[in-house]
């Protein structure tokens, strides 16, 4: 049995996600970029890409490095799909990474796993924004989540609300009375309202290209990104405006 498995989550029922993952970032697709950042982690014993249909799996095979397996799990919702994945790839815990977060940070993932392994009672480990919410909900886009397999399967059995079925970890972090949570304070240098490192809209893509062009593909840890943005007030101002507008549904 694996100790910790990295799972890259794809949602190809959404054409926008499919289009984003297939876009080229340098010589690689965005999805390959994400997968390679996850395989750079030192504390994961394996990495798989999760597909929700045979058609999606065939498409993913054109984007994913050949040494990384694609696991097809046809299920009615993402939570069931994720829980079923742990039944096929037996593991004690998983690290969930979204396929549309190309700047997810390997060092932050390794710290998650190290923290979890030091606290055997934990069901869920992630980063926490200064407002107290899991940082995975922020637009910063460098974070992942660690979930114990037993907790994931328990959430699958208990969660009934559609939003809890769609957002894989929502039931877990939303019920601290049922699960043991460990939220690590997010690094203050990136826990900011004027940082936005997701690619949810077209302008985010332009910002991502600016960052990659400035730093290069091999210099994209969160510290170097923070250093760059510290010296780009106009870019930070625009990111802050997008964060406000999207929070209020104005974009």
User: Domain map of the chain by residue range?
Assistant: 2-185, 202-247
pLDDT of residue 22: 84
Task: Give me the pLDDT at residue 129, please.
Answer: 95
Q: What is the pLDDT along the chain (251 residues), one digit of tens a residue?
A: 899 999 999 865 444 555 778 888 888 899 999 999 999 999 999 999 999 889 989 999 999 999 999 999 998 899 999 999 999 999 999 999 999 899 999 999 999 999 999 998 999 999 999 999 999 999 999 999 999 999 999 999 999 999 999 999 999 999 999 999 999 999 999 999 999 999 989 999 999 999 999 999 888 999 999 999 999 999 999 999 999 999 877 65
User: Helices 78-88 and 149-158, interaxial angle, to 10°?
Assistant: 140
Supply the pLDDT for residue 18: 58
Burial of 97 (0-12, 13-18, 19+ CB in 10 A): buried
Residue 124 near residue 182, CB atoms below 8 Å: yes
Can you say how many angstroms the Cα of residue 149 is from the centroid of all Cα atoms in its chain?
17
Return the CATH number of the domain spanning residue range 2-185: 3.90.550.10
Global confidence as pTM: 0.93
Q: What pLDDT is recorded for position 1?
A: 82
pLDDT at 14: 47
Q: Are 166 and 77 in contact (CB under 8 A)?
A: yes
Residue 132: φ, ψ to 5°: 95, -10
Contact 169, 154 (CB under 8 A): no
H or E element, residue 182: strand 181-185
Q: What is the DSSP string of 132-165?
A: SSBGGGSS-----EEEEHHHHHHHHHH--SHHHH
Residues 78, 79, 85, 90, Cα dihedral to 10° = 160
- The H helix count followed by the E strand count for the chain is 11, 9
User: 3-state class of 192 per DSSP?
Assistant: coil
Residue by residue, DSSP assigns 80-102 as HHHHHHHHHS-EEEEEEEETT-T
């Amino acid at each position: 049995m694996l100790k910790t498995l990295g799972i890259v989550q794809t949602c190809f029922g959404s054409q926008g996600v499919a289009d984003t993952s297939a876009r080229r970032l340098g010589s690689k697709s965005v999805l390959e970029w994400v997968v390679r950042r996850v395989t750079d982690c030192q504390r994961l014993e394996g990495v798989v890409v999760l597909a929700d249909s045979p058609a999606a799996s065939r498409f993913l095979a054109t984007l994913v490095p050949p040494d990384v397996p694609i696991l097809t799990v046809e299920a009615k919702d993402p939570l069931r799909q994720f829980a079923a994945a742990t039944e096929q790839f037996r593991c004690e815990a998983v690290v969930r990474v979204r396929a549309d977060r190309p700047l997810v940070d390997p060092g932050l993932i390794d710290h998650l796993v190290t923290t979890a392994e030091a606290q055997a009672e934990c069901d869920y480990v992630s980063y926490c924004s200064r407002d107290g919410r899991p940082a995975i909900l922020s637009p910063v886009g460098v974070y992942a989540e660690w979930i114990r397999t037993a907790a994931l399967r328990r959430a699958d059995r208990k969660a009934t609300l559609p939003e809890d079925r769609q957002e894989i970890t929502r039931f877990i972090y939303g019920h601290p009375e049922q699960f043991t949570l460990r939220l690590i304070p997010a690094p203050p240098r990136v826990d900011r309202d004027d940082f936005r490192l997701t690619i949810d809209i077209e302008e985010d893509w332009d910002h991502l290209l600016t960052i990659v062009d400035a730093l290069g593909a091999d210099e994209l840890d969160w510290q170097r990104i923070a250093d760059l943005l510290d010296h780009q007030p106009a870019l930070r101002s625009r990111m802050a405006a997008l964060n406000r507008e999207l929070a209020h549904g104005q974009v």
